[in-house]
Amino acid sequence: MSAKKTDDKQAKLNVNEQSDAKKELIELGKSIVQDINKANNPKIELSVRGLSNVVYDKQSKTLQLGDKTAQRFFFNAGHSKKFLQTIEVAAICKNLLDVNKHASLRDVFYMAKRTIPNTKINVVDDQKESDKSIEDLEIITGFSRENLNVNANKMGSVAGKVVIEDSGDTIDWSKLGSGGWSIPSNVENIKFKKVDAKYVIYMEKAAVWERLHEDRFWEKQNCIIMSSQGQTTRGIRRLLQRLSTEHNLPILVLTDFDSWGHYIYSVMKFGSISLAHMADEMSIPSAKFLGIRAHDIEKYGLQKHFIKLNDQDISRLKQISEYDWFKNSKEWQAEFKKMKQFGHKAEIQALSARGISFISETYLPEKIKNKDWIE
């Protein structure tokens, strides 16, 4: 599975992968038909997911699935239902690819949720089951669920001197008024026609994005600004990842000075346990943490706007500081130590106390000029 994943990697960097994803689904079907024809017990082979098979790969600097694989058999009371679910969901994905339409996870659940004839048994009873089947198919085919036409959540906005082609439209991210372009859940089929930017700033807060956008920060600094609201969706992560790999743009991450902000960055850069099998598509190893850093607090007088760490903050801080990829980083350990010493966290919007456009006129230009980020 690992070798296959690596082979596929280059292919997956291309934008239109639907036909290849379909090919993989058809192969899965054929292998099962072959088992049946040979009177073998039909089986699916796939990598083991979960903590026991997740490794932090120091070379790629991402969380990856290890080499453990498992077989799932049709004639096995413990496997049979999962086997059926995976095949049912594979058929649904194949149909979606055939008609070139996209479904949400919830849609797939309802499409799979039917009663098996002459029984009282449903193929799936809970969305978790169809979600797991989609993860199975990601591992089996080596393609992300977006390439199987199953979309994640839609959220977030983007602006900058970028022209894209999407669904037959040519869209200029610099000419979309105060709103910007609404990032779709699935960005696999977007074609970049022009990318005139030196870097991308991703921020966790839409209000900060609106601040930078109103100040036309992206125009003055020749960059791209992107945000969601809280959650960093898969669509956003893939869009950032594509700008990073296809256009060599540095991805700078701007969050609050708190453990939640550090976690957002951690997941974007290194990946997460639940997405270890999608590390190549979903992680951005080149992402840099721009701020807010501990020394910004002192430099810009943000102590006045400190918020006291609560018990949850303190335990999160401890957890995150022990992550494999932060454990040996002097710079990160210095950040964590300072937060502990401060006993406080600080929000990006505290910069507004220095003036509404302090962030876009002083803070960010200084930070970027000084390359004041953590790699």
Catalytic residues: 110
- End-to-end CA gap in the chain: 30
The residue within the footprint of a copy of itself, chosen from 139, 309, 350, 374 (CB under 8 A), is 350
Q: Give how far the C-alpha of residue 345 lies from the chain's centroid of Cα atoms, to the nearest Å.
A: 25
Segment lying near a copy of itself (by CB under 8 A), choices 9-17, 176-184, 241-249, 275-283? 176-184
> If binding is defined by CB under 8 A, does position 89 make contact with a copy of itself?
no
The residue within the footprint of a copy of itself, chosen from 90, 93, 123, 190 (CB under 8 A), is 190
Structure tokens at 28: 């899965």
How far apart CA 369 and CA 121 sit, in angstroms, is: 63
Closer to a copy of itself by Cβ: residue 73 or 260: 260
Q: Give how far the C-alpha of residue 107 lies from the chain's centroid of Cα atoms, to the nearest Å.
A: 21
Here's the x/- map for a copy of itself, 97-116, by CB under 8 A: it reads as --x-xxxx-xx-xxx-xxx-
Closer to a copy of itself by Cβ: residue 22 or 269: 22
> If binding is defined by CB under 8 A, does position 357 make contact with a copy of itself?
yes
The count of chain residues that interact with a copy of itself, using the rule CB under 8 A, is 62
Structure tokens at 55: 């490794």
As measured in angstroms, the least distance from the Cβ of 16 to a copy of itself is 14
As measured in angstroms, the least distance from the Cβ of 195 to a copy of itself is 16
- Strand, coil or helix: what is 39? coil
> If binding is defined by CB under 8 A, does position 118 make contact with a copy of itself?
no
Closer to a copy of itself by Cβ: residue 32 or 93: 93
Closer to a copy of itself by Cβ: residue 245 or 352: 352
How far apart CA 351 and CA 357 sit, in angstroms, is: 9
The residue within the footprint of a copy of itself, chosen from 4, 207, 303, 322 (CB under 8 A), is 207
How far apart CA 42 and CA 279 sit, in angstroms, is: 29
As measured in angstroms, the least distance from the Cβ of 319 to a copy of itself is 26
The residue within the footprint of a copy of itself, chosen from 148, 155, 268, 297 (CB under 8 A), is 155
Report the alpha-carbon angle 15-201-159, nearest 5.
65
233: number of Cβ within 10 Å: 20
Q: Where is 364: in which H helix or E strand?
A: helix 364-369
Structure tokens at 184: 């779709």
Whether residue 227 contacts residue 202, with contact meaning beta carbons closer than 8 Å, is answered with yes
Closer to a copy of itself by Cβ: residue 64 or 185: 185
How far apart CA 295 and CA 297 sit, in angstroms, is: 5
As measured in angstroms, the least distance from the Cβ of 155 to a copy of itself is 6
Report the alpha-carbon angle 28-30-32, nearest 5.
75
Closer to a copy of itself by Cβ: residue 45 or 166: 166
> If binding is defined by CB under 8 A, does position 153 make contact with a copy of itself?
yes
Which residue, 112, 107, 110, is CA-closest to 151? Answer: 107
The residue within the footprint of a copy of itself, chosen from 7, 67, 125, 166 (CB under 8 A), is 166
DSSP designation for 231: B
Using CB under 8 A, list all residues that contact a copy of itself: 95-96, 99, 101-104, 106-107, 109-111, 113-115, 151, 153-158, 164-171, 175-186, 189-190, 206-207, 209-211, 214-215, 229, 304-305, 347, 349-353, 356-357
